[in-house]
């Protein structure tokens, strides 16, 4: 099957998430409209792309605000097709964890909007902006040969912060705010999303026995996450270079005064391990920066960290900073070293480093979701719509990537549209290439079904007869996105 047929087949897996068949039909139609519309990715533009701007569109606007459907179940088709995409029958499931900010301007009218640090602000100045916070989890699909992985989103949870009371508020309001702030922390929302991913894996026969490996940055490497990991779950994350670590406690048999000790002697910090000549460097091969490279790492463990607790031994992995040149023959510059911890001391070192390197793909997800799919552009005010419309867009984006893997694999095959002559041949198809191919296949189906050829979007209206009751020309019954049915 081609991309369009594969995507439409995956969308049929959404049916259990909707209480009514008509709601599922509207969601499927709106999904195609949001994927292929050429302007801002709004509900109105999706309605126009599906040719329904001259009929009653009330039900389409109420899809995310009033209709009954479960947003998390939209990601179930990814779990259903996940096992054949993994490298081996016992390969672990690697999931990247990160949060992102979708900018918004209507702070007083949009529920959940808060003031946050602008992620695009320079390092020498902190800027602020209004936006919606989301926590995203993406499954990393490794290629069969050394190359870049694909990240398929499986969770996209809204995480609005607690509303801070005004200055001079009562002590009860201040105490309630402090409690609500802890419940709405990004790490708590991320921990709940991790547990739901583990639960979705346990519900499937080909995934319940696999180990779940979570890769997060330093903001998720704390007690809220490490002390509440689900069963059969490993966490890999960054740690502070000056983190205070401890060796295991040695049992001497002597009774000491006071409380019994739980930690041993103080271990060197990750930065001290980096400069310690007695700890040898180990060479591992990983796909980094577009090619297979040799990476130097140091491993120390088991050690303990108070944030994780005495029940969880950790291994510390220090990655040597890589050298690079801005141009041929220029001065050799170095990037910053990376300090990681892993909750599984038996995990293969090459797999550990490669899993964390592949975590960068979730940053590519954030870029594509905002710039190409318009996640966060929807002009909605209803609390349910604010939460569910971005989830619908991210779920459709995940199925689009999954359909590409199932139909074309990891390579950019000849089915994709040719690039300009000045473009170098990429390793894999970009999301822009995938969207262009989807539009081309929809146009091909339209052209085959019409009596005269279609040249552009304006010619779609010429395929329908004039309506005597309207002064405007309606679009054809089979328009850009309804032809995908």
Q: Is the pLDDT of residue 469 over 70?
A: no
328-344 confidence digits (pLDDT tens): 888 877 788 999 999 99
CA atoms within 13 A on the CB side of 81: 21
DSSP assigned state of 18: B
16-26 confidence digits (pLDDT tens): 999 999 999 99
Spell out the domain ranges in the chain: 7-217+359-408, 238-249+262-340, 433-484
Q: Which residue has the higher pLDDT, 122 or 478?
A: 122
Q: Is 197 left (phi over 0), alpha (psi -120 to 50) or beta?
A: alpha
251-267 confidence digits (pLDDT tens): 776 777 778 888 889 99
In which band, very low, low, confident or very high, does the pLDDT at 418 lie, cut at 50, 70 and 90? confident
Q: Is the pLDDT of residue 98 over 90?
A: yes
**What is the average per-residue pLDDT within 36-56?**
86
Q: Which residues contact 313 (CB under 8 A, 6 or more apart)?
A: 248, 301, 302, 303, 304, 345
User: How many Å apart are CA 217 and CA 240, to the nearest integer?
Assistant: 11
Q: Is the pLDDT of residue 209 over 50?
A: yes
| Percent residues over pLDDT 70 in the chain | 92
User: How many Å apart are CA 7 and CA 407, to the nearest integer?
Assistant: 9
Predicted confidence at residue 20, as pLDDT, reads 92
Q: Is the pLDDT of residue 318 over 90?
A: yes
Facing residues of 134 across strands?
Answer: 100, 158
**What is the bridge-based pairing of β-strands 128-141 and 93-103?**
antiparallel
Q: Long-range contacts made by residues 111-115, C-beta under 8 angstroms, separation at least 24?
A: 111/160, 111/381, 111/383, 111/386, 112/158, 112/160, 112/383, 112/386, 112/387, 113/160, 114/160, 114/161
- In the block, residue with structure tokens 């205070």: 244
**What is the average per-residue pLDDT within 262-288?**
92
Predicted confidence at residue 50, as pLDDT, reads 84
Strongest mean pLDDT among 47-61, 391-405, 465-479:
391-405
């Amino acid at each position: 099957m081609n991309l369009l047929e594969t995507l439409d087949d995956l969308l049929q897996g959404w049916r259990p998430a909707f209480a009514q068949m008509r709601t599922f039909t509207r969601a499927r139609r709106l999904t195609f409209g949001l994927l292929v519309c050429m302007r801002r990715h709004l509900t109105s533009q999706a309605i126009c792309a599906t040719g329904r701007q001259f009929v009653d569109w009330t039900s389409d606007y109420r899809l995310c605000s009033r209709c009954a459907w479960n947003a998390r179940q939209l990601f179930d088709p990814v779990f259903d097709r996940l096992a054949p995409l993994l490298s081996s029958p016992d390969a672990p499931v690697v999931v990247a964890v990160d949060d992102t900010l979708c900018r918004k301007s209507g702070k007083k009218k949009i529920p959940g909007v808060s003031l946050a640090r602008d992620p695009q602000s320079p390092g020498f100045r902190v800027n602020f902006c209004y936006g919606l916070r989301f926590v995203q989890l993406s499954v990393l699909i490794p290629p069969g040969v050394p190359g870049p992985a694909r990240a398929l989103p499986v969770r996209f949870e809204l995480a609005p912060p607690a509303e801070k009371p005004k200055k001079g508020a009562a002590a009860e309001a201040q105490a309630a705010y402090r409690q609500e702030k802890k419940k709405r922390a990004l790490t708590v929302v991320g921990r709940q999303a991790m547990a739901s991913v583990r639960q979705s894996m346990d519900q499937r026969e080909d995934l319940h026995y696999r180990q779940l490996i979570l890769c997060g940055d330093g903001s998720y490497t704390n007690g809220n996450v490490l002390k509440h990991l689900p069963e059969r779950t490993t966490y890999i994350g960054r740690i502070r270079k000056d983190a205070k670590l401890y060796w295991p406690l040695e049992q001497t048999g002597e009774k000491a005064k006071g409380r019994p000790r739980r930690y041993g002697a103080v271990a060197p910090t990750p930065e001290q391990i980096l400069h310690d000549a007695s700890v040898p460097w180990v060479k591992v091969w990983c796909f980094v920066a577009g090619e297979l490279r040799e990476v130097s790492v140091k491993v120390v463990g088991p050690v303990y960290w108070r944030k994780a607790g005495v029940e969880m031994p950790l291994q510390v992995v220090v990655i040597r900073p890589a050298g690079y040149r801005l141009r041929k023959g220029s001065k050799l510059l170095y990037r910053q070293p990376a300090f990681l911890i892993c909750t599984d001391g038996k995990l293969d070192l090459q797999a550990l480093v490669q899993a964390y390197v592949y975590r960068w793909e979730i940053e590519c997800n954030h870029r594509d979701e905002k710039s190409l799919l318009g996640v966060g552009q929807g002009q909605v005010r209803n609390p349910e719509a604010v939460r569910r419309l971005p989830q619908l867009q991210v779920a459709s984006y995940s199925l689009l990537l999954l359909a590409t893997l199932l139909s074309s694999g990891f390579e950019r095959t000849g089915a994709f549209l040719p690039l300009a002559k000045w473009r170098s041949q990429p390793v894999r198809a970009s999301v822009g290439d995938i969207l262009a191919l989807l539009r081309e296949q929809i146009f091909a189906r339209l052209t085959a079904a019409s009596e005269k050829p279609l040249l552009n979007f304006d010619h779609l209206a010429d395929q329908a007869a004039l309506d005597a009751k309207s002064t405007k020309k309606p679009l054809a019954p089979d328009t850009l996105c309804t032809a995908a049915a």
